[in-house]
Structure 1
């Protein structure tokens, strides 16, 4: 049992978790407001970590009055420190990530669990299972292909049965990508301009730190696939998160880690485009969205991502150097002697930049597509705040609030392991816009 601690007491007598349910009593395929049958609306799991504390801080200042929020983690002392720092009276819930019974109780105490406890392949599977089984909506910051694939295989049917929406990747991985294509598709559909074909997201502006959690995730995935050819094939497949590879259209080779000439994407782009670190994961999320929607984007929808390194004559050198550097980092983390050195140079898990640096960050992602009728469209996703920390805390916090409060605006679905677009959709877009994020789309060639 997790220790459920009342806001004013640390003795485990605050309230008791509800008994588990076979199906959520408030679920109506996402089309009705939930009855408030559980003690809490949202629980932030991992609230004592760097990212989790940022999510909790966002909710403390932006959640509407009356939303019942809890803080969860392993240490009641550290949770108490977070609660005191935030100056809130939220309940504290104590549960270890490796204790299935405690996680079941945690899941049944809330309508939505938002977790930042990663790497998720190492620490996240029992919590996903508890939420899928108990009809509890779930959001996280996962950017791990193998974890997401395993979660789909293990939990999709259970979540459909219970009505739970399991939504991975509600941070910089992969909200700009998934919701960017979502709003792009909506504009094309509203104009009756056909289906999406060649579509590219370009990170045109980016300022932020390199997350220690991201480094740890890369390290863990490299360790997982070492010596396992089957897992390497799954990690390398562009359709590794699709419901069925056999149903995917044959679009030829899709290189998710290539350098590109900007002019081949759009005439407004100059110079060489570099590979984007997160593209090998984000692209798979977007392809899963298209498949879950019955290929609404189009059977000829091809998607890729890249990053601008400037328009100078040296952009080719910069792009090639960045690609080589990312490859060298992956190789270095794979080899014991070089990993020893890199582990001391790269950011550590649970650490991050100070508040001034976090608030000074920003990102802009521009998407370009050509439709099946030949029309050209663009979309923009832009936000202030360090992408991996400040902006991500907003994205995860608003995902949890949308699931808890905006049931009538959610996409109709019986549940399952979903994506930001298919699990939260327009309700998510609306909340992120209200929080200051730009999500826009327009036609380029309209006379």
Structure 2
């Protein structure tokens, strides 16, 4: 391993998720043991306050001052570490300078963005250079999209063992998810809406399920997209649109593309929320679909968007309480169907609220995986990867051993 001061630097450590992540790394790995790490951000006083909040054991935790708008400070930070974790969003507004710095320095990077339009821009702009320098860039290492991406990866592993072939159709359904939304996530969603309204080409691109796949990977299969209340025969229940499907489905398709169509050239994947059976399930699905549609419509209208941001939605830096994070959880169900009609059912669960308590742990273990488990000389070289295509089984093992996730087969018939 290269001689650098740190294995991992948490950039944006004083952000809402950055604080959760820092506490997780402190509790799980301590300071200056197996893991050499530091917290970083633009405000030294806020970093010192965070360090103090982590307890006496954190007194030796290094603090690095770096600003997303100061490329020299980013370059200096990258020169001192092997992996950078970024929690500074919206990434479309603030993320590019750090990606560029990591790519130029040949430093590995992971984040928790769900901004598909930004990911596409970063891949188009920097992937060739990342392949030259050896930087491995892994976006979407939070609830969007590790449970979906690794969930499909796990299901396909099981299908290969049982059927000798992958499933060419997989559907993920959110059985239950309990947790709050932070101001950072809201800001990212609103920014995507603003960008799409200003750019017709972007609106078209956002509708493309293969938008972040390599240009040569363009299957002919029309991908299903749950946009309204639908009855799902495979689950025997009503479903409603799932807001994270827009990013998760694209990450899963990119994983398939980057692994040589391991799931099949004409692989189909979609996501939705389970709302129950009968009239009650249908009514719930209709209500969720209407509510989501209303929210998206409101964010598209400038006066309504202003009112939402000012009076309704959480502000950046705000989010669920520690108690709410601990009480949160999620249960995702997957069904896979092979070309011969063979069926397998699996599930992925998490023991904290999806967007924050669990995301902090997933992001931390993705970085640990980059730092310690994925040797560039033995596995994959530089470029823009997905969690499943680069981190795969080592990350799945870490998530189950340390981060409170489970992956299991529930019905192989």
> Fold-level match, TM-score > 0.5?
yes
Per-residue deviation, 1:409: 10
What are the residue-to-residue correspondences of 1:281-292 with 2, within 5 Å? Answer: 281-292=247-258
What does residue 369 of structure 2 align with?
402
What does residue 417 of structure 1 align with?
384
What does residue 4 of structure 1 align with?
none
Per-residue deviation, 1:253: 4.8
What does residue 40 of structure 2 align with?
72
What are the residue-to-residue correspondences of 1:7-406 with 2, within 5 Å? Answer: 35-63=1-29, 65-87=33-55, 88=58, 89-244=60-215, 246-255=216-225, 257-262=227-232, 264=233, 266=234, 269-343=235-309, 344-406=311-373
What does residue 17 of structure 1 align with?
none
Question: In the superposition, relative to structure 1, how do residues 256 and 166 fare at CA in structure 2: closer, same or farther (>3 Å)?
Answer: farther
Q: Is the 8 A contact 1:113 1:138 kept in 2?
A: yes
Q: Is the 8 A contact 2:7 2:83 kept in 1?
A: yes
What does residue 25 of structure 1 align with?
none
Deviations 1:15-39 (A, max 9, x none): xxxxxxxxxxxxxxxxxxxx14111
Query: Take 2:227 and 2:164, find their aligned partners in 1: how far apart are those partners?
Result: 29
Report the aligned-residue RMSD. Answer: 1.7
What does residue 408 of structure 2 align with?
440
Q: Is the 8 A contact 2:153 2:388 kept in 1?
A: yes
Query: Take 1:438 and 1:298, find their aligned partners in 2: how far apart are those partners?
Result: 25
Deviations 1:263-288 (A, max 9, x none): x2x2xx34311111100110000000
Q: Is the 8 A contact 2:325 2:353 kept in 1?
A: yes
SS of the residue 1:305 aligns to: strand
SS of the residue 2:99 aligns to: helix
Query: Take 2:74 and 2:334, find their aligned partners in 1: how far apart are those partners?
Result: 39
Query: Take 1:224 and 1:286, find their aligned partners in 2: how far apart are those partners?
Result: 24
Per-residue deviation, 1:258: 4.5
Question: What's the TM-score once normalised by structure 1's chain length?
Answer: 0.88
Q: Which runs of 5+ in 1 are unaligned?
A: 1-34
Query: Take 2:45 and 2:203, find their aligned partners in 1: how far apart are those partners?
Result: 41
Per-residue deviation, 1:247: 2.9
**Count of aligned positions:** 406
Q: Is the 8 A contact 2:228 2:286 kept in 1?
A: no
Deviations 1:294-318 (A, max 9, x none): 1010123100001112234222222
SS of the residue 1:373 aligns to: coil
Per-residue deviation, 1:211: 2.5
* Greater Cα shift, 189-198 or 419-428: 189-198
Per-residue deviation, 1:202: 0.5
Question: What's the TM-score once normalised by structure 2's chain length?
Answer: 0.95
Q: Is the 8 A contact 1:234 1:240 kept in 2?
A: yes
Deviations 1:116-173 (A, max 9, x none): 1000000101101111121111010000011110111112111111111100000000
SS of the residue 1:414 aligns to: coil
Deviations 1:240-263 (A, max 9, x none): 11112x43220125325344313x
